[in-house]
Amino acid sequence: LGIVGLGNVGRIVAERAVALKMRVIAADPLVTAERASSLGVSLVTLEQLFRASDAISVHTPLTPETKHLVRDETLPQLKRGVLLVNAAEGGIFDETALARGLRDGVLGGVALDVFESEPPAADHPLFSMPNVIVTPHLGASTEEAQERVVGEIAEQLVAFFTDGTVTNGVNVPSVPRELMEKIAPLVDLAKRLGLFVA
């Protein structure tokens, strides 16, 4: 497995892959070889990663350097039949090049949950290809997840209004009610000091 970008998500993917006894290599100019080694990952150049990987998963922000990492010019560098996964940001792969690579057999398969243009057009060329998997970027976009989120929010509102428990609040500590009662004066003091400083 080749991983492009060893940030938070890239590291999690690497840990899972290593646990599954996969040989994992990664390209990330911001990570030291020692840090990669501590994850069980070999640090390589992007070109080495392209040539050696049976599957490549990208976990990097879209920047001028990462835009169209995989494009017509880089397709010949890839191992024939490679599987590509982009769940990071649209534009890291050139989607028209992916379609050509799939048609020509250079790519074995592609999985995307992000696109250069969101939402993608209904007639996007990748949608009709059998060796392509596409999903919404947010797991919460499915009908089932939306229903679950609505239920969780309702439960959290009931908990707050019945006993003052705050769960998953933004900028609110998620602590048991008993502890919150003890630290409430300190939270109030911190709020007042913040307003004073502002």
Q: Which residues are catalytic?
A: 118, 137
Closest to 11 in 3D by CA, of 57, 78, 63: 57
Strands 107-112 and 42-43: unpaired
Q: Sign of torsion, CA 148 149 152 158?
A: negative
Query: Cβ neighbours of residue 198 under 8 Å, at least 6 residues apart?
Result: none
Q: What angle do CA 160, 166, 171 make, to 5 degrees?
A: 135
CA dihedral 182, 187, 192, 194 (to 10 degrees): 150
Pair 89, 115: CB distance under 8 Å: no
In 3-state terms, what secondary structure has residue 70? strand
